[in-house]
Amino acid sequence: AAVNHEIIDAVVVRASKPLVEKMRRDRINSCIEQLKVLLEKEFHKQDPNAKLVKDDVLEMTVVFLRRQLPLSGGLNAARPEEKLHQHCGCILCLCCF
């Protein structure tokens, strides 16, 4: 019997998608946990009684970074959204490595 490699490849790809998605979610969750640890003191300043769930951690991180932008800027500073994107990228790099 001839083996249809296209069918086998399709089955392998279909089977690996959930695993790839799980790995992606695990990386995101790990980064969020690391953000929580890195900025824990700052989060407690904003709301000492907060139970920090993922969306709260991300939202409070954005608030923290937005407050940092004027401090790290200057006359030649990039637009705020560019600076925020740079800060978020740096934090994600730190979290994931």
- pLDDT tens-digit series, residues 7-31: 777 777 777 888 889 999 999 999 9
- As a whole number of angstroms, the longest Cα–Cα distance in the chain is 72
For the entire predicted model, the pTM comes to: 0.57
N- to C-terminal Cα separation, the chain? 48
- pLDDT tens-digit series, residues 53-67: 999 899 989 988 888
Q: Domain boundaries in the chain?
A: 30-96
Helix 54-72 and helix 80-96, axial crossing angle in degrees, nearest 10: 120
Which helix H or strand E contains 4, and what residues bound it? none
Distance (Å, whole) CA 91 – CA 6? 41
- pLDDT tens-digit series, residues 25-50: 999 999 999 999 998 888 888 777 87
Task: Say if CB 31 and CB 88 are below 8 A apart.
Answer: no
